[in-house]
Amino acid sequence: MHHLRTTFVRFWPLTAAQTVRSQSQHRPLAVGRDLRTFRPMRHLSTPVAAEPFLNGTSLNYVEEMYYGWLENPKSVHKSWDIFFRNANAGAPPGAAYQSPPPISGTGERLAQVQALLGASPNMEKLVEDHLAVHSLIRQYQLAYCQHIGVEFMFINDIEQCQWIRQKFETPGIMQFTAEEKRILLARMVQSTRFEEFLQRKWSSEKRFGLEGCESLIPALKTIIDTSSQSGVESVIMGMPHRGRLNVLANVIRKELEQIFCQFDSKLEAADEGSGDVKYHLGMHHRRVNRVSDKYITLSLVANPSHLEAVDPVVQGKTKAEQFYCGDTEGKKVMSILLHGDAAFAGQGIVYETFHLSDLPSYTTHGTIHVVVNNQIGFTTDPRMARSSPYPTDVARVVNAPIFHVNADDPEAVMYVCKVAAEWRNTFHKDVVIDLVCYRRNGHNEMDEPMFTQPLMYKRIKKQKNVLQKFAEKLTADGVVTSQEYEEEVARYDRICEEAYARSKDEKILHIKHWLDSPWPGFFTMEGQPRSMNCPSTGISEEDLNHIGHIAASVPEESFTIHGGLSRILKGRANMVSQRVCDWALGEYMAFGSLLKEGIHVRLSGQDVERGTFSHRHHVLHDQNVDKKTCIPMNFISPDQAPYTVCNSSLSEYGVLGFELGFAMASPSALVLWEAQFGDFHNTAQCIIDQFISSGQAKWVRQNGIVLLLPHGMEGMGPEHSSARPERFLQMCNDDPDVFPAMSADFAVHQLYDCNWIVVNCSTPANYFHVLRRQILMPFRKPLIVFTPKSLLRHPEAKSSFDDMLQGTHFKRLITDDATAANPQKVKRVIFCTGKIYYELIRERMNRGMDDTAAVIRIEQLSPFPFDLIKTEGDRYLNADLVWCQEEHKNQGYYDYVKPRICTTINNTRPLWYAGREPAAAPATGNKHAHLMELQRLLDTAFNLEAFSEKL
């Protein structure tokens, strides 16, 4: 079994008699050679003037010399021998120390030294101190050298350290009543027999069982019981696959027949998506806690096989539930995260999540982390899996106490979990429980562990399971009889058998029964949208003016802003008076109008308060008063919803996962995450691929999160140019080779059927509409927005209020009004998206081709506007068709739009390409090369003979 490292509290043996004299009198210990030699003897000889007496760096040094002196007084310098003798005679430390005289001193002085050295030690005092020291040692051994090890001395808070010491050092504190032991035994029976039942019924199925750490179930139930007694009403949990079915059955209380029917390969899947394997699914359940007799809601968040990826998602969902119920201290809603030892040490997302734990806009006021420490990662030994002594060492960075406990001692596990829950309730800080256990099978039930850990698994095969050992202990102690134990086992076996029989009645597999985040009242009882209509996303002129004036003002009095910001606000006021808005003001209009309608808006990401490109300025800073800020968006209306805008830590994976979790909690909030630059999203690719793109298909879980990804070839090099739109478009689930059936509500049905929405808006008005549409739609879909950079201040990238008034909508495609009146004159139709449009119309004007070349913008790339593309294709029947993009040919949108446009026009005409050539990097790092490439693609786009040789 793993040797637990223990952290001893430093104490002073010299003064121990004064602090524990009464205790040592009641518990006398025999003095023997074996007790005296507590530490190896060291012969120390060093000058005492090397450093000040008894300062902080010499405490251990002095203590070691004292132990050496106890063994042999001659092993230390004479001055220390005198000091130790005087101290044992009762002298205080200041008086006990006497500097030795120089050798050349007078005869009188030498006589004094000889008298001192000849003094006999106070043996009675020496024995008393020695007994007291060993009494303390015995207490600390009982507290820290049994089945519990505690790491906490790194915590820089005396109150917290003393609290932990009291919980573990108080003699006899870890006592349980007979009833508590019987409850613990019943929970161990449930945990163990559940796994054994699955093994009997489905011996060849993967289930990632809990064998070897069965005490996890009573551990979690103890945490929940204690937290419920403290007032917690909701617990959100995240965990890997190992033990998940057991947790669903015995902690969340998922119906057993629903779990068992997942093993039936003959069950038909309901038409609700592609689904997921049983050990990835989540659950949401509200029930009465039997210990506290209070209602508690338990949620286990669905997750992929990517270990630890669910951690920030759980934290975000927890934060959202705390926000919506006004729980500002985390007293009603809490999170529990389960980890494996290898993943906890190896996955960087663990570190990112820990560093969100105490940030004002991300804290969940304490998470209880439970590490199922199998002492192996798949087939990898710990010595190969981490450089730190323990898998839990990452938690030390946030001063989280770490409780190591032998998982084969259920009582110790139960006590540690109780203390952890009390710690979280008292200090609202993270805490880690390290369940030191083993994995009885291989990585899964079909895996052979003897290939790689033969000796370890020979030992494991000889190991009694923890239930058997615990039952024997309680029987020997007279807590339960053998008959009572057998009856408890038979009772739970009967429950499983009855549920198994009921599972045979299930004919269809419903994924919606495993939903982890239901939205009561948003859908119908069958889980369908209440309508398939999307109302106008425009707002009144009055609201536009009111929100515009707020955006151009400083609502707080005696608030001094930066001179440059004064010019920006004045520019906004001028735009409002002219009834136009730029990109930043269009966003302000969208956010402000939703807030006025009672919709919470949360914008998160790196530098979002000001905006990476200094365009947003949603948080104003007083230039004379430190930390004094003003958020004008919260001054729109007295009864508005709150606006949260928060700069995040320098993390993408963790923060995007957090915001995804926040958006899971409620459909009535607009939650946005903005990347500092669009390509930075690739460090959060796991969240995008495993949760956002496919989450609804796997887990029937809708989510309306918005990703704002700055994108555009601006000559700034390969790293800050492309948001990689090709990756998002590749994951879109529409069929490029099938022209869909048209209907009156085709656009809304397209949105409902897609897995996410991808847009590249070219006008502030369209950006305004697509943000509002996220909330006004009768369902929720993730929205990917490729936002501009240079367009933020482009003089032509402005929209009139007329495009934002009531009755207006988001435009999936923007036609070319200049050529629409005389389409027969048009010889070339150029389809494009985003910023390149402004380059194209400038080039067209310079070439005088306003009548012969039409430039059409596809604003919504997915779901693809088949109907509108067909209309444009039919309008310009005599023109050739070109797709123009500023990205390289193997990147951007070309591979996505080409087959869809060709399907729309029934392959009657080719779609030519005008853009950069294929390349490995997203953009050149040379400004001159960038401009040359841009001019070349513009020449190709407007050269009517460019493709004649290819016909």
Q: What is the model's pLDDT at position 120?
A: 53
Nearest to 441 by CA among 428, 454, 457: 457
Least confidently predicted of 113-122, 372-381, 622-631? 113-122
pTM of the model: 0.86
Share of the chain above pLDDT 90, in %: 69
Element spanning 882, H or E: strand 880-888
Nearest to 404 by CA among 113, 6, 714: 6
Give yes or no for residue 858 having a pLDDT over 50.
yes
Give yes or no for residue 196 having a pLDDT over 90.
yes
What pLDDT digit, counting tens, does each position of 419-452 carry?
999 999 999 999 999 999 998 888 877 888 889 9
Angle at 79 between CA 76 and CA 81, to 5 degrees: 50
Q: Do residues 318 and 333 lie in contact, with contact meaning Cβ atoms separated by under 8 Å?
A: yes
**Mean predicted lDDT score pLDDT of the chain:** 88
Other Cβ atoms less than 10 A from the Cβ of 825: the count is: 15
d(CA 39, CA 47) in angstroms, rounded, equals 23
Query: Which residue is listed with tokens 């150029």?
Result: 830
Q: State residue 514 phi and psi, 5-degree precision.
A: -115, 25
Share of the chain above pLDDT 70, in %: 89
Give yes or no for residue 16 having a pLDDT over 80.
no
- Output the 3-class SS for 361-387: CCCCCCEEEEEEECCCECCECHHHHCC
Question: Residue 106: pLDDT band by 50, 70, 90 thresholds?
Answer: low
Q: Provide the total of helices (H) and of strands (E) in the chain, helices listed first.
A: 34, 26
* Beta-bridge partner residues of 759: 785, 860
Q: Do residues 653 and 683 lie in contact, with contact meaning Cβ atoms separated by under 8 Å?
A: yes
What pLDDT digit, counting tens, does each position of 791-846 carry?
999 999 999 999 999 999 999 999 999 888 899 999 999 999 999 999 999 999 99
What pLDDT digit, counting tens, does each position of 114-167 carry?
555 455 556 667 667 777 777 788 888 888 889 999 999 999 999 999 999 999
d(CA 675, CA 787) in angstroms, rounded, equals 10
Nearest to 680 by CA among 730, 754, 606: 606
Q: Do residues 654 and 355 lie in contact, with contact meaning Cβ atoms separated by under 8 Å?
A: yes
Q: What is the model's pLDDT at position 66?
A: 79
* 3-class state of residue 293 by DSSP: coil
d(CA 784, CA 729) in angstroms, rounded, equals 10
Q: Do residues 592 and 804 lie in contact, with contact meaning Cβ atoms separated by under 8 Å?
A: no
Give yes or no for residue 507 having a pLDDT over 50.
yes
Query: Which residue is listed with tokens 């990476």?
Result: 612
Q: What is the model's pLDDT at position 14?
A: 35
Identify residue 211 by its one-letter amino acid code.
E
Give yes or no for residue 362 having a pLDDT over 70.
yes
The stretch 698-707 carries a mean pLDDT of: 92
The stretch 587-616 carries a mean pLDDT of: 96
Element spanning 110, H or E: helix 107-118
Q: Residue 885 to residues 278, 644, 912, 916, 938: CA-CA distances in angstroms? A: 44, 36, 11, 8, 10
Give yes or no for residue 320 having a pLDDT over 60.
yes
Q: Do residues 633 and 550 lie in contact, with contact meaning Cβ atoms separated by under 8 Å?
A: yes
Give yes or no for residue 510 having a pLDDT over 90.
no
d(CA 876, CA 853) in angstroms, rounded, equals 10
Q: Checking DSSP bridges between strand 828-832 and strand 853-858, what pairing results, if any? A: parallel
Q: What is the model's pLDDT at position 905?
A: 95
The stretch 667-671 carries a mean pLDDT of: 96
Q: Do residues 355 and 700 lie in contact, with contact meaning Cβ atoms separated by under 8 Å?
A: no
Give yes or no for residue 767 having a pLDDT over 90.
yes
Q: What is the model's pLDDT at position 893?
A: 97
Question: Hey, CA dihedral for 692, 697, 699, 701, is it positive or negative?
Answer: positive
Q: What is the model's pLDDT at position 278?
A: 73
Least confidently predicted of 97-111, 158-172, 472-486, 601-615? 97-111
DSSP state, residue 633: G
Q: Checking DSSP bridges between strand 813-814 and strand 294-300, what pairing results, if any? A: unpaired
For the chain, the straight-line distance linking the first and the last C-alpha, in angstroms and rounded, comes to 76
Q: What is the model's pLDDT at position 58?
A: 53
* 3-class state of residue 338 by DSSP: strand
Q: How far is CA 807 from the centre of its chain?
A: 40
Q: What is the model's pLDDT at position 96?
A: 65
Q: Do residues 834 and 933 lie in contact, with contact meaning Cβ atoms separated by under 8 Å?
A: no
Instruction: Please give the structure tokens belonging to residue 815.
Output: 């036609």
The stretch 522-540 carries a mean pLDDT of: 88
How many CA atoms lie within 13 Å of 561's alpha carbon, on the beta-carbon side?
21
Give yes or no for residue 97 having a pLDDT over 90.
no
What pLDDT digit, counting tens, does each position of 18-75 carry?
333 333 333 333 333 333 333 333 333 334 343 344 444 455 667 777 788 888 888 8
The stretch 371-391 carries a mean pLDDT of: 90
Other Cβ atoms less than 10 A from the Cβ of 53: the count is: 12
What pLDDT digit, counting tens, does each position of 469-489 carry?
999 999 999 999 999 999 999
How many CA atoms lie within 13 Å of 529's alpha carbon, on the beta-carbon side?
17
